[in-house]
């Protein structure tokens, strides 16, 4: 049937379908960009901070991204432990006395929107706080809230954190904004989990109260002067499917194996840059990660460069979902 024979209603329906797909693709791109930004920030954080300061810095970075994505006025975040208790919190009102902070957190989780989200594991969208009983106005609140959006940050069935975003005008947050944040929440959970795992494996690390040592100062300053794009390009970031096929690679990973970024587009699978003797080893680690017998990927192997030489590399990653597909997101570096 030609376009001339199709009814106006059919053409309108097809156009609406294409527009919806465009919106979904844009949301997926935004979620992927968010993951890149948070990966970059978290890697920089573990290089310049230690201990529990890493966790708090990562949480602040996540809130910063969430505020930018939604144009929120204020925000708060509760990090939960395995028993569902708040282990770390960032309040919209800033620093307060510990006892008062605990009381405020308890009130919000008992009668507020964050509590509703925590119990129901659902995104909470409040278009007008004056008309929604889930919103709790706290005593001596130093800001005005007329609309709010609260998002559960989950890894599988485990609730890791709850973010609440606020705005002074009603109906500021839309269902589309809620859907975008729900998509980005998967990436935020991955970043939080990685930061917690790093701190767990480095229990003796000292908090960042020490100044940067002189021998590291020039490198640190040089890194700080780079743009986010330049920093990202220096890291070998990848996303792979369960058969090892690349879903995404950045220029950094191409450079590690001696390719230009354009040349590396023809490399379809991670196994193409692994010496054949190590294929079974890497495949085993990938399978274990996807089957949840080990939710993290970490292995060292011999990489195969474009010129045929081999190099020692290590791959780190975590399983997550992107557009509903299970993937491993991580980075490769020289061993």
* Same fold flag, 7-201 and 235-334: yes
DSSP 137: P
Query: What are the CA-CA distances from residue 257 to residues 63, 253, 254, 271 (Å)?
Result: 35, 7, 6, 12
- Per-residue model confidence (pLDDT) at position 212: 38
What is the CATH T-level fold of the domain 235-334, as seen in this structure? Beta-Lactamase (3.30.450)
Q: What is the mean pLDDT of residues 159-182?
A: 94
- Per-residue model confidence (pLDDT) at position 209: 37
- Per-residue model confidence (pLDDT) at position 269: 94
pLDDT score of 22 more than 50: yes
Query: What are the CA-CA distances from residue 215 to residues 10, 43, 211, 220, 221 (Å)?
Result: 68, 20, 11, 10, 11
Question: CA-CA distance, 278 to 292, in Å (whole number)?
Answer: 22
- Per-residue model confidence (pLDDT) at position 283: 94
Q: What is the 3-state secondary structure (H, E, C) of 216-284?
A: HHHHHHHHHHCCHHHHHHCCEEEEECCCCEEEEECHHHHHHCCCCHHHHCCCCEHHHHECHHHHHHHHH
Q: What's the pTM?
A: 0.63
- The CATH number that domain 7-201 falls under is 3.30.450.40
Question: CA-CA distance, 120 to 137, in Å (whole number)?
Answer: 20
Confidence of residue 12 (pLDDT cuts 50, 70, 90): confident
Q: Provide the edge-to-edge strand list for the sheet that holds 124-126.
A: 86-90, 74-80, 158-167, 147-155, 124-126
pLDDT score of 133 more than 80: yes
Please report how many Cα atoms fall inside a 13 Å half-sphere around the Cα of residue 269, on the Cβ side: 13
Q: Does residue 322 sit in helix, strand or coil? A: strand
Domain borders along the chain are 7-201, 235-334
Which one of 14-18, 28-32, 58-62, 117-121 scores highest in mean pLDDT?
A: 117-121
Confidence of residue 323 (pLDDT cuts 50, 70, 90): low
Q: If we measure between CA atoms, which residue out of 203, 161, 196 comes closest to residue 66? A: 161
Q: In which element (H, E) is residue 117 found?
A: helix 113-120
Confidence of residue 199 (pLDDT cuts 50, 70, 90): confident
Confidence of residue 48 (pLDDT cuts 50, 70, 90): low
Mean pLDDT of the chain: 81
Q: In which element (H, E) is residue 126 found?
A: strand 124-126
- Per-residue model confidence (pLDDT) at position 140: 81
Confidence of residue 134 (pLDDT cuts 50, 70, 90): very high
């Amino acid at each position: 049937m030609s376009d001339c024979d199709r009814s106006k209603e059919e053409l309108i329906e097809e156009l609406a379908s294409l527009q919806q797909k465009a919106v979904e693709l844009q949301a997926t791109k935004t979620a992927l960009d968010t993951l890149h930004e948070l990966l970059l920030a978290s890697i920089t954080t573990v290089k310049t901070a230690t201990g529990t300061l890493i966790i708090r810095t990562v949480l602040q970075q996540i809130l910063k991204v969430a505020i930018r994505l939604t144009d929120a006025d204020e925000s708060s975040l509760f990090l939960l432990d395995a028993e569902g208790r708040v282990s770390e919190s960032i309040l919209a009102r800033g620093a307060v006395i510990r006892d008062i902070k605990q009381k405020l957190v308890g009130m919000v989780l008992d009668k507020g929107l964050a509590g509703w989200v925590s119990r129901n594991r659902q995104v909470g969208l409040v278009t007008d706080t004056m008309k929604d009983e889930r919103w709790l106005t706290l005593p001596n609140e130093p800001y005005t809230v007329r609309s709010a959006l609260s998002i559960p940050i989950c890894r599988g069935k485990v609730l890791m954190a709850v973010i609440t975003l606020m705005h002074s005008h009603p109906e500021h947050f839309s269902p589309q904004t809620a859907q975008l944040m729900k998509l980005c929440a998967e990436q935020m959970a991955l970043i939080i989990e990685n930061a917690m795992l790093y701190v767990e494996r480095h229990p003796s690390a000292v908090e960042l109260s020490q100044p940067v040592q002189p021998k590291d100062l020039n490198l640190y300053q040089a890194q700080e002067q780079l743009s986010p794009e330049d920093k990202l390009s220096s890291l070998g970031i990848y996303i792979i499917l369960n058969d090892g096929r690349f879903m995404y690679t950045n220029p950094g990973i191409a450079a590690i194996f001696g390719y230009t970024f354009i040349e590396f587009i023809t490399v379809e699978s991670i196994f193409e840059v692994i010496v054949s003797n190590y294929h079974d080893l890497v495949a085993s680690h990938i399978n274990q990660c996807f089957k949840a017998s080990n939710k993290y990927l970490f292995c060292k192997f011999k990489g195969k460069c474009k010129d045929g030489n081999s190099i020692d590399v290590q791959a780190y990653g975590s399983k997550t979902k992107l557009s509903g597909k299970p993937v491993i997101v991580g980075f490769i570096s020289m061993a």
